Amino acid sequence: RLRERLVELETGLRESPEPAVQAATEYCKQLCQTLLEYAEKWKTSEDPLPLLEVYTVAIRSYVKARPYLTSECENVAFVLERLALSCIELLLCLPLDLPENKWEEFQAFVQVAHKNLMENGSRELHILTTLTQEKGVWKNPVLCGILSQEQLDPDKVNEFLVFEGPILLDMRIKHLMKTKQLT
């Protein structure tokens, strides 16, 4: 049902007689409302995978709709960026790693979505793309070394910090503090 609803939204956007900014604003509003309805159904503490599927379906739909969304509408970039950050928050909170085949499937999806968006000049999935570079959310060898307080080459640590960027690092730190793995 979610996919059907998102296809309806995309069709409405494409066929809208409204000015581009107004059509984009309405699409973004309806997308957010739809996602809230679907996301509320899942208790992430019990099983986070259905919510990850909701985010994946939404991002895929957004990528398809992006050519019809004008950048003059400030919500266009904001909605996708917020969706990507919500997806990252969920991935950081997973109690266990995704099964390898699910992770590889998700990685491939994010890479393709990011590439398609870049063709339209959109970089909103950049942080999510950064997170999916390794074999898991917490699998980067330098990150593992930092968390286990190993002695590491300062250049490798700096390289890692630059690669992650301030937003993703901040999200990791907040998660570690929230789960009392970092004080």
pLDDT at 40: 80
pLDDT at 30: 97
Over the stretch 25-52, which tens digit does the pLDDT of each residue have?
999 999 999 999 988 877 666 677 888 9
Q: Are residues 114 and 177 in the same domain?
A: no
122: three-class secondary structure by DSSP: coil
Q: Are residues 72 and 120 in the same domain?
A: yes
- pTM of the predicted structure, to 2 decimals: 0.89
The yes-or-no verdict on residue 111 having pLDDT over 70 is: yes
Predicted confidence band of residue 132 (pLDDT cuts 50, 70, 90): very high
Q: Are residues 155 and 98 in the same domain?
A: no
Q: Per the structure, how many domains does the chain have? A: 2
The yes-or-no verdict on residue 96 having pLDDT over 90 is: no
Q: Are residues 89 and 111 in the same domain?
A: yes
Which domain range does residue 164 map to? Answer: 140-183
The yes-or-no verdict on residue 153 having pLDDT over 80 is: yes
Q: 105-111: long-range contacts (C-beta < 8 A, 24 or more apart)?
A: 106/52, 106/56, 106/132, 107/132, 109/56, 109/59, 109/60, 110/59
pLDDT at 180: 82
Q: Are residues 94 and 177 in the same domain?
A: no
Placement of tokens 């996919």 in the chain: 3
Q: Are residues 123 and 174 in the same domain?
A: no
Q: Are residues 84 and 6 in the same domain?
A: yes
Q: Are residues 100 and 117 in the same domain?
A: yes
Predicted confidence band of residue 11 (pLDDT cuts 50, 70, 90): very high
Q: How far apart are the first and last CA of the chain?
A: 43
Q: Are residues 85 and 175 in the same domain?
A: no
Q: Are residues 127 and 170 in the same domain?
A: no
Share the mean pLDDT of the chain: 91
Q: Are residues 121 and 180 in the same domain?
A: no
